[in-house]
Structure formats: C-alpha cells, structure tokens
Amino acid sequence: MLEVKNVHKSFGSLKAVNDLSFSIKENEILGMIGRNGSGKTTTFRLILDFLTPDKGEVLWNNHPLTSEDYDAIGYLPEERGLYPKVTIQEQILYFAKLRGKKAKDILPKIDYWMEKFQVKGKKTDKIKTLSKGNQQKVQLITTLIHEPKLVILDEPFSGLDPVNAALLKEAIMELKQKGACVIFSSHNMENVAEICDSLVMIHNGDQVLEGEVDDIRLSFGRTKLIVEADVTDEELLAIPGVISIESLPLNQKLLQLEHEEVGREVFKLVAKDGYVPVFNQQPPTLEEIFKMKAGGKDE
C-alpha cells in the first residue's frame, strides 16, 4: 500500500503541494485530477523521490521506499523520452535493466507486449522509424514490462486515439487484477469515472477532493434530473428549486435542481397520471464537479 501523509512542497513562495494526504491499496486504481500546474506532476516526483518534501512522508507498505521498492515501480512521465537511434528491443531492455531485470527474463515478453499494444513494426526496428503513436506504445511497454507493483502514469491517454486508449485501459485493468497499485493523472474525466476506484483532486496545490468516485459524486447530491412526461416547462419551473430546463432528444427534459429533495416535488407533478416513461435523478458528472471545484474550464 502506498501512503502519502501530509506532504508539503514549495518552490520559493510557490506552494506546489500543500498538506496532501491519500492512500492506495493493492488492486486499486486512483485517478489524480486537476488543472495544468495544480501539483499533480510534483506529487508524482515526490513519490518517486525525484523531489524531497518540505514536510510529510511517503510510505510503501508502512516504510519509506527503498531502492528495491523503486525497482518495482513503473513510471510514465508526461514528457515522453526514448532514444531514437536504438531498436525497440534495445530500448525495452535498457529500461528493464535500470530496474534490476535481466535480459533473459525480459526478452521472452517483448513479443507479447508488442502484440498486446498492437505496435506496428518489428522489435529490430529503430525507434525513429516508428510513428508518434507507436513510439508512445513502446514507452508504455518499457513502463509495464517488468510487472511493477506500483504504476504511476502521468497523462497516459494524451495523444491516443480511441482504439489505443481502449488498449491502455485494458492493460491498466489487467495490472489491477494482478495486484498492482495504479495511479494516473488525466484531464479526461470519462476515463477517471470509468476505471478508477478512487480519486484525488488538487487545485493550486491544495487537496480539494479525496475518496471513492461514487461517494464523491453522491456527496454533491442528485441535482440532475432527466424526465419524460406530459408536462410543460412552465409547470416544472413553477416548482421551487427547479433552476433550469434543457430539452433533450426523445421528448426528454434535463432539469437542474437546487438540491436533490426538489426531485420529490417534480415526481409528484409528472406522476399525476400514474405513469412516467423516464425519471432518472443523478449526481453531477466528474467533469461537472471538476469545473465546480477548479473554478474554470477543464484544460
């Protein structure tokens, strides 16, 4: 289990990370969200010991990380970096050896991972001959091929088309099933909602949300209501607490409620004839919560 406890990090007068705390257990996926410059990458660098916290501590299985622990980490930085003049195989072996692995243990796995990520090319091809997307896949392979226990992925979906994003999601879920702790940052709230067990949101260095994804959504109340019924907008807007109405396809309406209890009054109105084809009351999406807490449009 990874624990980040009351971690602070400043650069001069800039508080990059301010009293950050969270934990992630085996078989769990944690999403770290926040606007650009919020402190996500700094947090990753503190976990990896690239930076030293001013206060607080980072623990792995109840102890500070050792050199052996760091060999069991897979890290994909936001700034991608491969050596263009070496072959795919040479590149993968190089990074694996940095993590204490032997060539004889890694070589048999290269074909499997290249097929898994559908890399177009042979393992004897040089990196510079690959497309940008295939280079990104090779870097993902170097991050995962040594079967790390802790995986940190900084914006891993950036630049991936939907097909390749789906391949990455499958790989992340497979890591979870094998017992790994996985942390990834993303600006795509759909990815976070789909595969994460929990999330941490940082804004200007401060931790503003932390917990299980469903619990966080429900904490904001079921203030979105999709309804299909034979009532007019004027009737709905006459109910105190109905803030706005948006027309949807199939004769449905999206109501924004002041608080979820307003849904009871809406239901009384739309069910007056005893039948309601659609009545679906939901909490806000992660994207909507992101915009509320980050104070602006997702970047």
The pTM of this model reads: 0.84
Residue pair 123/154 in contact (Cβ under 8 Å)? The answer is no
Strand partners, 5: 57
Q: What is the predicted pLDDT for the residue at 80?
A: 73
Single out the residue in 176, 195, 218 at which a domain terminates.
218
pLDDT on residue 280: 96
Within this chain, do residues 104 and 139 fall inside the same structural domain, yes or no?
Answer: yes
Q: How many CB atoms lie within 10 A of CB 175?
A: 22
Dist. CA 64–CA 56, nearest whole Å:
11
According to DSSP, the β-strands at 14-24 and 252-257 are: unpaired
Average pLDDT over residues 115-142: 90
Do strands 206-212 and 224-228 pair parallel, antiparallel, or not at all (unpaired)?
A: unpaired
Shared domain for 143 and 251, answered yes or no, is no
Helix, strand, coil shares, percent, the chain, to 5: 35, 30, 35
Write down the pLDDT at residue 48. 92
Q: What's the pLDDT tens digit per position in 88-120?
A: 999 999 999 988 899 999 999 999 999 989 998
In a domain? residue 99: yes
- Contact between residue 144 and residue 74 where contact means Cβ atoms under 8 Å apart: yes
Full DSSP string of 58-95: EEETTEE--HHHHHTEEEE-SS----TTSBHHHHHHHH
Same domain (yes/no): 75, 187: yes
Question: Residue 144, Cα to own-chain centre: how many angstroms?
Answer: 17
Q: Is 35 left (phi over 0), alpha (psi -120 to 50) or beta?
A: beta
205 and 85 share one domain: yes
Show the CA angle centred on residue 27, arms to residues 21 and 28, nearest 5°: 35
> Rounded to whole angstroms, how far apart are CA atoms 96 and 127?
17
Q: What is the pLDDT of residue 299?
A: 42
Print the domain residue range for 240.
221-282
Closest of 89, 226, 198 to residue 145, by C-alpha: 89
Do both 42 and 179 map to the same domain?
Answer: yes
* CB 145 within 8 Å of CB 119: no
Query: 26: which 2 tokens?
Result: 């085996």
In a domain, 69, yes or no: yes
Say if residue 238 is in the same domain as residue 260: yes
pLDDT at 296: 52
Residue-level pLDDT at 297: 46
Average pLDDT of 196-221? 93
Torsion of CA 267, 268, 273, 275, to 10 degrees: 30
The predicted pLDDT at position 89 comes to 94
Residues 213, 120 share a domain: yes
- The domain boundary, picked from 218, 252, 274, lies at 218
Q: Is residue 109 part of a domain?
A: yes
Last-in-domain residue among 218, 236, 270? 218
For residue 269, being part of any structural domain is answered with yes
The answer to whether residues 56 and 167 belong to one domain is yes
Residues 252 and 229 both lie in one domain: yes
pLDDT of residue 298: 42
Task: Indicate the number of domains in the chain.
Answer: 2
pLDDT tens digit sequence for 44-95: 999 999 999 999 999 999 999 988 888 889 999 887 788 899 999 999 999 9
In a domain, residue 293? The reply is no
For residues 118 and 247, state if they share a domain: no
Would you put residue 11 in left (φ > 0), alpha (ψ -120 to 50) or beta?
Answer: beta
DSSP state of 104: H
Q: Are strands 206-212 and 198-203 parallel, antiparallel or unpaired?
A: antiparallel
Please check whether residue 22 lies inside any domain of the structure: yes
Q: Which of 18, 40, 20 is nearest to 183 (CA)?
A: 40
Question: Among 286, 241, 285, which residue's Cα sits nearest to residue 263?
Answer: 241
Residues 160 and 258 in one domain: no
- 298 occurs within a structural domain: no
Residue 297 lies in a domain: no
Mean pLDDT calculated for residue range 218-243:
94
CATH number for the domain including 253? 3.30.70
Statement to judge: residues 182 and 146 lie in one domain: yes
Edge-first strand order for the sheet with 252-257 is 242-248, 252-257, 224-228, 278-282
* Domain CATH number, residue 124: 3.40.50.300
